[in-house]
Structure 1
Amino acid sequence: MSEFSDIRAEKVGAHLLRITLDRPQLRNALRTQTLAEIAQALDGAEADAAIRAIILTGGPNVFAAGADINELAAHDAVSIQTDARPKYWAAIRRFPKPIIAAVNGFCLGGGCELAMHADIIVAGEDARFGQPEINLGIIPGAGGTQRLTWALGKSLAMRMVLTGEMIDSRTALAHGLVAETCQPELTQERAQAIAEIIAGKPPLALRAAKEAVLKSFESGLEAGLAHERKCFAALFATADFREGVAAFRDKRRAQFQGL
């Protein structure tokens, strides 16, 4: 059972953790406490070797409609410099295990930025993505301008950030923001199915694969290729590599242990 108030964190089977944003009366608006609790839940999941993947969701009706505006309004140009939220965003960004986001309904502002911290997004056909911060006289502050550009390209990212307009899940899929779409009532099921497939893979290789893919966004091609090769070679020293090869030769299912 969850020990948190803004989220629910619960194990699903032996290897998955589901984190559900749980402020439905405020459409899951993200306040500092919410981000702190997500970071805390992920910290616990990182320390738990049994947990191999995370499902992140806001529930069946809305993912998160943005940041808590009342909390933002209490800041000024001085106090925002010491805001605690960046450290929680950094903790979410550094989490090394795969995160699969299940998105229904509004996924806006900080909610869109949170979803983009996931490694795979499954979106219901009712999902709407947007960065409406421009309407408040500010810009996205948790990576929205950067991650949207990576995923969508300059032109569409510019349109979303400069106009504050939303895009639907079909557009998000066509431009690479989400991995797949489905009927809204199936979003949770599809995200869990993907997470279960991932959880059956070798944990050390999963960590290295996530790190290598993310590296492509953080460095040039040559540096990314060098990092990939380093990770590739290191995995040859693992017991899971030997098990994978043996299972392939024996025509059986591999039993990966994260060693």
Structure 2
Amino acid sequence: MKKGITVDSNKLTNDIKSVLEKYEYINVTHYNLGVYKLSLNRPEVFNALNDELMLQLSEVVSLLQDYGARCLVLTGNKKAFAAGGDIDEMSGKSYAQVVEEQYVTSVWSKLERRDIPIVAAVNGLALGGGCELAMLCDIIVAGYSATFGLPEVSLGIIPGAGGTQRLIRAIGKAKAMDVILSGKILTAIEAERSGLASRVVEDDKVVEEALYVAHHIAKRSKPVVNMAKRVVDYANESSLQNGMQYEQQNFYATFALSDQKEGMQSFLEKRQPNWQDK
């Protein structure tokens, strides 16, 4: 583990420990600086994403955000980040059922609305819903063995958890069309070169690198990080003109923060800032 990154489970209160232990599909590890690693735990089906797993993930993220976490790392195992949606669960659903349940949308939209940054640590398969989940995160760190794809058309459906929308924004229309229509699988190197993944490292270093990134995020002022995340997210949803206006509004808003004064003063005094998160 890189210097400065340590497991710090003792700081978890007994109350939250007992709550987290109830989530069988999500294993939680607490590190210093308010960083948490969430590991998907359905190894027998390559972490296929069923309703219960996604519900548990949404609840854990919300719980940790309320608990004061500063950054999360989401990972799977050596074979798979997540191989896709649970086909066994989906296969029997009718049109009326998916519409009535707001299938996928009802749970995934809660994850989309979070404030806390999430770094995806991807080894092995990230296909279908697994690729969409990785793209739902803010940063993707991939191992050389990682593969990304949206093969839903081969099952008679299309991506339904943001795949068509996020992939085109990440890698452009031409490459996105190739992946979605032909079933092309992207290697980790292709994903990094295309702009989908941020970093590619050796497989056994993926989680370590993701934690390293998360700790650098966690060291910053929490309201400033959240503000920056919102502005970058907004860029995917707006015109350049609207995005520039939104950025300007948030830039001005940082000058109302005590952390802006502390950040600039610490720079002038050549010392580390003492963030107050306000």
Instruction: Give 1:74's aligned amino acid.
Output: G
Question: SS in structure 1 opposite 2:220?
Answer: coil
Matched, 1:59 2:59: no
Matched, 1:71 2:89: yes
Could you state the TM-score of these two structures normalised by the residue count of structure 2? 0.91
Give matches, 1:1-259, under 5 Å.
1=17, 2-3=20-21, 4-49=23-68, 51-83=69-101, 84-259=103-278
* Structure 1 position 245, deviation (Å): 1.3
* Structure 1 position 97, deviation (Å): 1.5
1:20-67 deviation digits (Å, cap 9, x = unpaired): 100001100000011101110111122122x11010101233100000
Question: SS in structure 1 opposite 2:273?
Answer: coil
1:153-194 deviation digits (Å, cap 9, x = unpaired): 111111111112211001001100000101100000100000
Confirm or deny: 8 A CA contact 2:33 2:215 kept in the other structure. no
In 2, Cα distance between equivalents of 1:14 and 1:213 = 24
List gaps (5 residues or longer) in structure 1.
none
1:180-229 deviation digits (Å, cap 9, x = unpaired): 10110000010000000010001011001000001111010111011101
Instruction: Give 1:55's aligned amino acid.
Output: V
Confirm or deny: 8 A CA contact 2:27 2:38 kept in the other structure. yes
- Runs of 4+ aligned residues of structure 1 deviating over 3 Å after TM superposition are none
Question: SS in structure 2 opposite 1:63?
Answer: strand
1:100-144 deviation digits (Å, cap 9, x = unpaired): 000000000000000001110000000000001111100000000
More deviation, 185-194/38-47: 38-47
* Structure 1 position 246, deviation (Å): 1.6
Confirm or deny: 8 A CA contact 2:29 2:37 kept in the other structure. yes
Could you state the TM-score of these two structures normalised by the residue count of structure 1? 0.97
Figure out how many residues of one structure are paired with residues of the other and give that number. 258
Question: SS in structure 2 opposite 1:29?
Answer: coil
In 1, Cα distance between equivalents of 2:174 and 2:264 = 45
In 1, Cα distance between equivalents of 2:226 and 2:273 = 18
Root mean square deviation of aligned Cα: 1.0
In 2, Cα distance between equivalents of 1:225 and 1:188 = 34
Counterpart position of 2:8: none
List gaps (5 residues or longer) in structure 2.
1-16
In 1, Cα distance between equivalents of 2:247 and 2:111 = 22
Question: SS in structure 1 opposite 2:39?
Answer: strand
Question: SS in structure 2 opposite 1:218?
Answer: coil
Confirm or deny: 8 A CA contact 2:47 2:81 kept in the other structure. yes
* Structure 1 position 18, deviation (Å): 1.1
Confirm or deny: 8 A CA contact 2:41 2:76 kept in the other structure. yes
